[in-house]
Structures are given as structure tokens and as C-alpha cells.
Amino acid sequence: MTHTFDVAAVLFDNDGTLVDSYEGIMNSWTAWAIEHEITAEQLTGHDGRSTSEIVRGLIPAERVDASLARIDALEVANAHQTVAAPGAREALEALPAHAWAVATSGIRTVASARLAAAGLPVPDVLVCSDDVPRAKPAPDIFLRAASLLGVAAEDCLVVEDAPFGVTAARAAGCAVLGVTSTVAAAALGGADAVVAGLDEARFEQVGGRIRITVPGLISERAAAATPGRTWNDGDDDTGGTIATDAAGGIRPTE
């Protein structure tokens, strides 16, 4: 049985939802971790946290600003490795510009570079971690996106692939569609419905509203999904596994 959302606007997470930036993320963070002698174990358990939060928890305060600048530079340089997630282009093409936004825990330069590299439009409303006082799982980023679109957060659907993002969307009062690109469906238990990807959802404009139809509360593909990406880079809820050597140290990815 299908499930339908009827909303004024759609707020998309970026990495893991609209784009697959896994390769660039892994190459960027692996390079930074090697430079700073950070182990793979230190980079676990950060799903949905902002880059700033992760870095501040790993290195001395006096090196934070330089590290953030270095990571940003690496991620912009590696943005060309980003591709559009299945169904993302079709979803955005179906939506009028005033009815969708991107809300990401990443920074604007990286988010814009990844969208462009994936061949996706940069939206009129792009809300990033540097635009709000608190990153996900706080609701700030979704509340601001809804406000900039001129709609109530309660009349928005958030599309998310990470538990922190789902928590943030719920706290904002939004409906939530989970995507199992980086975690299993069970980890997205706060979502109203769960799909394996945007290619399982139909987006359409109906009478000035946005209708989103999905196969069910949990699609068969989503229920069967066993994502292997378990580490999040903080830029926006994308999981992954840092390459390690036999001693547990980080090594460059191939």
C-alpha cells in the first residue's frame, strides 16, 4: 500500500540523500587524518555531526581553525568525485524552485560544489551549518530553511539519510522521509516512511501543493538494505569506513 505526503515544501539533506559524495569525503578525511595522526577509531560515532563539532573533539583548540580550512579545501578539491543519487535529478525537476530547499550540516562552499559536480541545481534556499547556531540534531537548520521558503515547518517534508537528521526534523515539527543510503531502516525509526532512494518516491505539484508518493511505510528495498558505510564525515550525514592498516592506523584510500 502506498503512502502519500501532502506538503507546501520539501527540505532535502544533501550528502547521502541528493548526492553520493562518499568517495570525495573518504579521500578528504583520510588525507586530513593522516596529516594529523588521527586513528580510524577516533573518527567513529559522529553520524550527522558538523565538521566543526568533529574537529573540535579531536584536536587542540589552537589548531581547529587551520584544520577546518584544510578540510574545506580538500572537500572542495574532491567535489568532482560527487555524483547525483538515483532519482535526485527527477525529484528536483518535478518541484518548483519556491517549494524546495537543501538543509545540510556542511558548509556552503562544499555543498554548492558537490551539487554542481553532480549536475544538480543549487537551490534558492541553501541552509548550511554556518547559517545557524546549532547543527543537527538541533532543529535550527530545518526551521531556518522553512522560514526562508515562507512556509511553516509543520507543512514541510524533510528527506534524510541519518538518524541525527531525522531527530532534527522531528524536533522542527516536519514530516520525515528516511533514505537507507547510509544506515539500515531500523536506524531511521523516527521517520514517517522509509525508502531505499529517491528513485522510489514520486514528487509532483498538485493544486499548488507538493505530493510525494512512496511504496509504503517501509519499502521492500529499504527493508532489505544493509548499508556498509558506518562512519560519517560530519559534512552531511554520509557514512563510510576509513581505510586502515594492520595496526589500526589510517592509510590512504585507493
Catalytic pick among 15, 140, 161, 233: 15
What angle, rounded to 10 degrees, do the helices at 163-172 and 140-149 form? 60
For residue 13, indicate whether it is catalytic. yes
> By the 8 A CB rule, do 97 and 31 touch?
no
Q: Which of 23, 12, 30, 131 is nearest to 71 (CA)?
A: 30
For residue 15, indicate whether it is catalytic. yes
Compute the distance between CA of residue 55 and CA of residue 178 in angstroms, rounded to an integer.
27
Catalytic pick among 6, 13, 130, 236: 13
Neighbours of 168 (CB within 10 A): 30
Compute the distance between CA of residue 169 and CA of residue 225 in angstroms, rounded to an integer.
22
Compute the distance between CA of residue 38 and CA of residue 43 in angstroms, rounded to an integer.
8
> By the 8 A CB rule, do 71 and 51 touch?
yes
So which residues are the catalytic ones? 13, 15
